Structure 1
Amino acid sequence: MEERKYLTTWRKYIPVIRLHLKRSLTEEQSFKLNITDFESAGDRGKSGYTFSLQMENGKVINNISGSAVARDLYEALKTDETIKSMIQDKAIKISVGKSFVFSIKTTHISSFKPEETAG
């Protein structure tokens, strides 16, 4: 199992992802990825490059162990200081579909804590 073969590819996209992540605070964002960037990194064949990556407070909350593309994206995101600070206190869903469109949807995590009622 080759490790991190998509990391370099994702790092090329970091400036674009950063921009869309910022904009996703107001509305869902999407942009088309260049499939040849990924095919040259590793051929996924029929399984394709589709995945869904869900994060809360900068931590992955869904299972991405079966997707090298998703794992490497997460690695690229968490090593970028600007993105790291942007994804704190937020719930973020990133997905790539069959048409190779990268989508980011961000929602704020409520920091509201109900007060304890003293009896």
Structure 2
Amino acid sequence: MEERKYLATWNRYLPVIRLHLKKSLTEEQSFKLNITDFESAGGRGKSGYTFNLALENGKVSNNISGSAVARDLYEALKSDEAIKMLLQNKSVKISVGKSFVLSIKTSHISAYK
């Protein structure tokens, strides 16, 4: 397993992510990330930093094995108690696109499955 080179960067963003995660219960949230934070942690080159991270009840529900950036974000999220509480009984989609904007979309998980 490769070292978690983006974990420290994501940990610095946790207070902002926590705030946007709370707000995402009423409407989709997005904010711009500072690309130099990630480039200094480890160059991704042409592959970039784009990813989609889908969480159901705090657990990853899509394949993020190819994205160190997404894996490290998940590690940071699950280490934060307040965020773990926010993820309970929710379906959360977190994505970063080419314009380096992080988007958070949250919906409640239906009790009828």
TM range (shorter): over 0.9
Q: What residue number does 2:40 align with?
A: 40
The separation in 2 between residues aligned to 1:18 and 1:40, in whole angstroms, is 23
| 1:112 to partner: Cα distance | 3.6
Give the CA deviation at 1:42. Answer: 0.2
Residue matched to 2:21:
21
TM-score, length-normalised on structure 2? 0.97
Tell me the alpha carbon deviations over residues 3-56 of structure 1, each in whole angstroms, 9 at most, x when there is no partner.
Answer: 100000000000000000000000000000000000000000000000000000
- Any unmatched runs of 5+ in structure 1? 114-119
Structure 2 counterparts to residues 1-119 of structure 1, below 5 A = 2-112=2-112
CA distance in 1 between partners of 2:92 and 2:100 (Å): 19
Partners in 2 of 1:71 and 1:3 — Cα distance?
11
Question: Secondary structure of the residue that 2:15 maps to in structure 1?
Answer: helix
Q: After the TM superposition, list the runs of 4 or more consecutive aligned residues in structure 1 that deviate by more than 2 angstroms.
A: none
- The share of aligned pairs that are identical, in percent, is 81
CA distance in 2, matches of 1:7, 1:31: 19
Separation in 1 of the partners of 2:5 and 2:52?
A: 18
Q: Calculate the aligned-residue CA RMSD, in Å.
A: 1.0
> How far did 1:2 drift?
3.4
> Structure 2: 5+ residue runs without aligned partners?
none
Query: How many residue pairs were aligned?
Result: 113
TM-superposition CA deviations, 1:61-92 (whole Å, max 9, x none): 00000000000000000000000000010000
